[in-house]
Chains A and B, each alone.
Chain A
Amino acid sequence: DTGVSQNPRHKITKRGQNVTFRCDPISEHNRLYWYRQTLGQGPEFLTYFQNEAQLEKSRLLSDRFSAERPKGSFSTLEIQRTEQGDSAMYLCASSSQGGNSPLHFGNGTRLTVT
């Protein structure tokens, strides 16, 4: 079990640029989640996949955000035309199927938009 891996760990970008983050879940987990966390707050749900199917998207996920999990393994989260309000920690988690499977989180990607 190598854990959930996220890259990059930090990303600094200028407003208006596009950024893409990657998440590699625990290999046997078929569920993958993206959360966003700002300073002093708990994580907020963005979206989740079961295998390659994106089953739910939060209303927080504007049209500038898109997530994919093309082969049911790793996932990418892209933010287009970044805004300063997008600055946050983006967390990925994975779990086995089943409501009582705990989520395993990666260390996150910290995005700073200047």
Chain B
Amino acid sequence: KQEVTQIPAALSVPEGENLVLNCSFTDSAIYNLQWFRQDPGKGLTSLLLIQSSQREQTSGRLNASLDKSSGRSTLYIAASQPGDSATYLCAGLIYNQGGKLIFGQGTELSVKP
């Protein structure tokens, strides 16, 4: 059974810092891994999707990596801003299971001005 874990559960940093959020998964039979952002009381916004054949994806100040062999993904945020404050969730899509994403519990990020 695929399990997805995110560490830390919460993180507080001063504005301008570069930071890394971690995501680990137990089953390497992963089709892709997606990172989402969730603001309080809102739905999820897709940030990056890394296919199993890829090592990383970049969008602006965000860079996500995927290492299937070690069962890990990281989300790197450069030059953090207060507007980056939100909960960040990673989710793995498992082979032959349609569109069922398995989510981690999220990392709540707070960027202090």
Contacts and interface: CB of A to CB of B under 8 A. Distances in A.
Q: What size tier do the contact residues of chain A reach? A: 20 to 34
A99 interface: yes
Nearest to B32: A100
A48 B43 CA distance: 17
Contact of A105 (B41, B45, B93): B45
A48 B99 contact: yes
Contact of A40 (B36, B41, B44, B105): B105
Contacts of B99: 31, 33, 48, 95, 99, 103
B46 A102 contact: yes
Given A40-B106, A107-B43, 12 more contacts: A4-B43, A41-B105, A42-B106, A43-B101, A45-B102, A48-B99, A56-B100, A99-B99, A105-B36, A105-B45, A106-B43, A107-B41
A91 B41 contact: no
Interface of B: 4, 31-32, 34, 36, 41-46, 49, 51, 89, 91, 93, 97-106
Nearest to A91: B43
A40 B99 CA distance: 23
A104 interface: yes
B86 to A, nearest CB: 14
B8 to A, nearest CB: 13
Given A106-B43, A108-B43, A45 B49 contact: no
Nearest to B44: A105
B75 to A, nearest CB: 14
Interface string A21-63: 0000000000101000000111111001010000110000000
A46 B100 CA distance: 9
